[in-house]
Amino acid sequence: MEKQKTEELNLLKFNNQIIMKNILAIYIVLFSTTITNAQLACSKYYPLKEGTTFEIITYDKKDKVGAVVNYEVKNATLNKATMVATISDDKGKEVTTTEYDILCTDKGISIDFKSLMSADYLQQYKDMEIDMTGTNLEIPNNLSVGQSLPDANMDATIKVTPINMKMSINMVDRKVESKETITTPAGTFDCIVISYSTEFKMGLKRIGTSKQWMAEGVGVVKTEEYNKSGKLVSYTLLTKLNK
């Protein structure tokens, strides 16, 4: 009788262990799924899943390649992802690497103001110490034609012996202009178009306008920059995407 009770107790303990392990396994799966969904749902437009990579190439007005920038999403969590950008010249030689954070907000995402520094300038000042301050770029999920968006800016001090150079970049009058379908080497995308005015100052002040084509689940597909006379200065295209 005692032996039978002991065997029954051991069997009960074993079954409880199996049940607890199964519950733990289910919890882990659910928790992992929640994290993944949170990463993907944080932004309607930007793919923030860790490991996502994409390539953007900048061109001048004569279609000459200026820089090739390869991006990778790293260290993605429930509320933040780090974007690492590797910049190469037109010959494919790696020039520099930079990174910035994308933060989740209750309305969408907030992109670190460091991202406003273009690839061309990062190439030019890659060996110099740069201090930056600014206001992040806000991208809400509920974009609609006619909607106005907050301004963004970046102020930089480039330390060059014996003097420091000052640079400022302002994105103002941001507005959702239209919806368009465009094709790039990475595919065909239904985009929302955001226009804004640009103010660049480094000694002299340069004013222009820009347009940005953005697709859901992809991010920026194309940009165009115009001078104050409305003539095209440069543009970028999404050429590769792996998510």
pLDDT score, position 212: 96
Partners of 55 in beta bridges: 70, 240
Dump pLDDT digits (tens) for 33-51.
Answer: 333 333 445 789 988 889 9
Q: Which residues contact 160 (CB under 8 A, 6 or more apart)?
A: 128
Separation of first and last alpha carbons in the chain: 62
Count CA atoms within 13 Å of residue 39 on its CB side: 19
What is the model's pTM?
A: 0.76
The residue-averaged pLDDT of 2-23 equals 41
The residue-averaged pLDDT of 221-231 equals 95
The residue-averaged pLDDT of 182-206 equals 94
Dump pLDDT digits (tens) for 101-150.
Answer: 999 998 999 999 888 876 566 666 666 677 889 999 999 999 999 999 99
3-state helix, strand, coil in the chain (%, to 5): 20, 55, 25
Q: What is the CATH number of domain 42-242?
A: 2.40.360.20
Confidence grade of residue 11 (pLDDT, cut at 50, 70, 90): very low
Give the closest residue to 140 by CA, choosing from 218, 44, 76.
44
Rounded to whole angstroms, the Cα distance separating 221 from 149 reads 19
The encoded tokens of residue 75 equal: 């260290």
For the chain, domain boundaries: 42-242
Contact 110, 136 (CB under 8 A): yes
Dump pLDDT digits (tens) for 162-190.
Answer: 778 888 989 999 999 999 999 999 999 99
Count CA atoms within 13 Å of residue 199 on its CB side: 11
Contact 67, 56 (CB under 8 A): no
pLDDT score, position 118: 65
